[in-house]
Amino acid sequence: MKHIVIIGNGISGITAARHIRKLSSYRITVISSETKHFYSRTALMYIYMGHMNYENTKPYEDYFWKKNKIDLVFDHVNKVETASKSLQLQSGNTIEYDSLIIASGSKSNKFGWPGQHLQGVQGLYSYNDLLQMETITRKTKRAVIVGGGLIGIEMAEMLLSRNISVTFLVREPEFWSNVLPLQDANLISRHVRSHHVDLKLRSELQEIQADENGWVKSVTTHTGEIIPCQFVGLTVGVSPNIEFLKNSGIETKSGVLVDEYLQTNVEDVYALGDCVQRSYELPGRKTIEQVWYTGRMMGEVVAQTVCGEKTKYQPGPWFNSAKFFNIEYQTYGNVWPDLKAEEDEYYWEHPSGQKAMHIVWNKHSLLFLGINAFGIRLRHECFDRWLREKRDVTHVVRHLREANFDPEFFTRHENEIQESIALKFPSLKISSLV
């Protein structure tokens, strides 16, 4: 019987395994060295904050795997030998495959800072990182987080939940302004500060110093400022976890290179999720996308292909969501940090500084290009449809109310937004309807 081996039991590998099981009776083996069972990585922060325990983060009960004939191997793949179609495991065991699916995820970036390997310095990616953070921060009074992205802000919220003071070193002029336009990023900077985080913008880590026992005692910034601390969180992004593929013959750049069927250059070897770099372009999408839902989509797609129905990966318009303390963020389409020459934009912010909307369109064709929403929930289905149907901005603004997903008793702002955009851009002809 055909043997499908999957490296990685995260959302990508597990979605592939589940869908292959639905479509076939192939033998399926999932190998992972992080945890025995699949858990939700996005819930790590809630374990630390006491809202959940590890068991609650497992989407499936432990009996699910045996019942569905999915073999789980808790081991590390040291080497992939594509010529003999076999894997060398840390335990000394060898596993042979007919088809291999690599879903090995990401690892936290470290940029060679002096002191980055000291005790008390870590990233946040794995369950083990969480356990380590749990132990180390028991006695932490002050922490420094380096890098202002989505994992950094989660780490700040985690530490604050235990009354640990947080200093945030962020290289950009505003929080996450390498991704968000300045207005949006400024709103988030203000919100972060309102949570008593010592946010230092345009600030870079120079060096981490140790005490006499090898534990972190302070960091120095590029301006020479010394900040005493007992914990340093390095949250300067993640990159594909692919070192073990060296010399395997599987082509990699920053990630494992795949074609539109998620196939690598080697026959019967596929790759999915965070570890992947698409070798071809898709409009409005990056070639490496390290988010939960793309891993899940890829898992569904590859299952079809492996089971004989060759299927292209077509993720459609970009979307994402996150939370910055109390402010929920959603993005649909493309709102780049810098407005492009052919684009126009409208930014609306509520006086509370807790809600905002940023709409971008093509100034010549009026084609709607993307939206960022903060503190206002939008319906994914509406924006996905409008983007696929290539609607113009007038249509989108006129139908904003339809896209609002806030609970009934929430204050609505569509009229206000429509009126002010109509005033600023009379040529959009929105005013006739508001």
Ligand X SMILES: Cc1cc2nc3c(=O)[nH]c(=O)nc-3n(C[C@H](O)[C@H](O)[C@H](O)COP(=O)(O)OP(=O)(O)OC[C@H]3O[C@@H](n4cnc5c(N)ncnc54)[C@H](O)[C@@H]3O)c2cc1C
The neighbour count for residue 26, using CB atoms within 10 Å, is: 16
Toward ligand X, which CB reaches closer, 41 or 355? 41
| Distant-in-sequence, close-in-space partners of 135: CB < 8 Å, separation ≥ 6 | none
Find the shortest distance in angstroms from Cβ 272 to ligand X. 6
Q: Does 317 bind ligand X (CB under 6 A)?
A: no
Q: Does 322 bind ligand X (CB under 6 A)?
A: yes
Size of the site for ligand X (CB under 6 A): 34
3-state secondary structure of 289: coil
Toward ligand X, which CB reaches closer, 122 or 221? 122
Find the shortest distance in angstroms from Cβ 271 to ligand X. 9
Phi, psi for 340 (deg, rounded to 5): -85, 160
Rounded CA-CA distance 67/210 in Å is 50
Q: Does 104 bind ligand X (CB under 6 A)?
A: yes
Toward ligand X, which CB reaches closer, 37 or 191? 37
The neighbour count for residue 107, using CB atoms within 10 Å, is: 17
Rounded CA-CA distance 148/168 in Å is 7
Rounded CA-CA distance 342/364 in Å is 7
Find the shortest distance in angstroms from Cβ 354 to ligand X. 20
Q: Are 183 and 273 in contact (CB under 8 A)?
A: no
Toward ligand X, which CB reaches closer, 133 or 219? 133
Q: Does 241 bind ligand X (CB under 6 A)?
A: yes
Q: Does 292 bind ligand X (CB under 6 A)?
A: yes
Toward ligand X, which CB reaches closer, 19 or 41? 41
Q: Does 152 bind ligand X (CB under 6 A)?
A: no
Q: Which residues of 391-402 are buried (b: 16+ CB within 10 A; e: fewer)?
A: bbbbebbbebee
Find the shortest distance in angstroms from Cβ 32 to ligand X. 4
Toward ligand X, which CB reaches closer, 31 or 143? 31
Q: Does 8 bind ligand X (CB under 6 A)?
A: yes
Q: Does 44 bind ligand X (CB under 6 A)?
A: yes
Rounded CA-CA distance 217/120 in Å is 9
**Neighbour-count burial of 157, counting CB atoms closer than 10 A to its CB (0-12 exposed, 13-18 middle, 19+ buried):** buried
Rounded CA-CA distance 31/9 in Å is 7
Rounded CA-CA distance 414/420 in Å is 10
Q: Are 11 and 292 in contact (CB under 8 A)?
A: yes
Residue selected from 291, 356, 378, 396 as contacting ligand X according to rule CB under 6 A: 291
Q: Does 140 bind ligand X (CB under 6 A)?
A: no
Among 347, 289, 346, CA closest to 316 = 289
Rounded CA-CA distance 428/432 in Å is 10
3-state secondary structure of 319: strand
Q: Does 290 bind ligand X (CB under 6 A)?
A: yes
Residue selected from 5, 13, 330, 391 as contacting ligand X according to rule CB under 6 A: 13
Residues 242-261, mask of contacts with ligand X (x by CB under 6 A): --x-----------------
Q: Does 149 bind ligand X (CB under 6 A)?
A: no
The length of the chain is 434
Tell me how far the alpha carbon of residue 373 is from its chain's centroid: 17
- Among the residue ranges 61-69, 93-101, 104-112, 193-201, the one whose residues contact ligand X (CB under 6 A): 104-112
Residues 215-234, mask of contacts with ligand X (x by CB under 6 A): --------------------
Find the shortest distance in angstroms from Cβ 314 to ligand X. 18
Toward ligand X, which CB reaches closer, 156 or 430? 156
| Distant-in-sequence, close-in-space partners of 351: CB < 8 Å, separation ≥ 6 | none
Toward ligand X, which CB reaches closer, 8 or 333? 8
- Among the residue ranges 97-105, 167-175, 210-218, 332-340, the one whose residues contact ligand X (CB under 6 A): 97-105
Residues at the interface with ligand X (CB under 6 A): 7-13, 31-34, 41-42, 44, 76-77, 103-106, 124-125, 151, 154, 241, 244, 273-274, 290-293, 295, 322
